[in-house]
Amino acid sequence: MADFVFSPPAVVTIPVAGGGLFPVRRVFCVGRNYAEHAREMGNDERDPPFFFTKPADAVVTGGKDIPYPPQTSDFHHEIELVVAIGKGGANIAPENAQGHIFGYAAGLDMTRRDLQALAKKSGRPWDMAKGFDSSAPIGDIAPVSSIGHPADGAITLDVNGVNRQRGMLSEMTWDVNSVLTDLSRYVTLAPGDIIMTGTPAGVGAVVRGDLLEGRIEGIGTVTARIG
């Protein structure tokens, strides 16, 4: 038995549709990747994407409730396609990117929008706006062996049964292969890494008691209630 000074944390896992658990290593996120959402946030949609991260233990699975986080009064939803990496690598060529993908899921990049706005204004990091506890609800992973590589389905989010966000995966400024290629120039990707690939237009605030239901055609769903 190793000489740990306290019990090490449990491995964070995401259930795989059809059986098994995907062990999470790191959570990467794309900053902006749908033109209409870039415009609603006041940015030029031609800007290249950029990356930020969340800790692995921000992931919440199984449709569990998430708490309304402290230090915000503008807590926003962002429905996103999640790419689950099954094979690592650096400097991945676009034509080889699909071979590194284990599967796909629907996820929510929950955001303290007020802290993000302050961080942007003051040139500070986004960590406390994006990488807080329970900030990444994610649905079950659909393996590529079952669904292939869906690239043109609808991506939607309803809050309390009312549609808030709607887009198409085909509207991504940088497609999944391009995202993997770009990210793998900055870090060596590893099995267990997941990538949240940006959100379509329609982001907005939620309050305690709200039920969030995200869906990506051909991939799956993600559900979270704000506790």
Nearer to Mn ion, 78 or 213 (CB): 78
Smallest gap from residue 19 Cβ to Mn ion (A)? 29
Q: Which residue is nearest to Mn ion (CB)?
A: 109
Smallest gap from residue 179 Cβ to Mn ion (A)? 12
Smallest gap from residue 182 Cβ to Mn ion (A)? 16
Token representation of residue 114: 């007020």
Per CB under 5 A, residues contacting Mn ion are 78, 109, 199
Work out the number of other CB atoms within 10 angstroms of the CB of residue 128: 16
- By CB atoms closer than 10 A (0-12, 13-18, 19+), residue 149 is middle
The 3-state DSSP class for residue 39 equals helix
Nearer to Mn ion, 129 or 226 (CB): 129
Nearer to Mn ion, 109 or 143 (CB): 109
Q: Give the DSSP per-residue string, 137-206.
A: EB-PBEEHHHH----S-EEEEEETTEEEEEEEGGGBSS-HHHHHHHHHHHS-B-TT-EEE----S--EE-
- By CB atoms closer than 10 A (0-12, 13-18, 19+), residue 78 is buried
Nearer to Mn ion, 184 or 199 (CB): 199
CA gap 147, 208 in Å, rounded: 35
Nearer to Mn ion, 109 or 140 (CB): 109
92 DSSP assignment: -
Smallest gap from residue 99 Cβ to Mn ion (A)? 26
Nearer to Mn ion, 53 or 98 (CB): 53
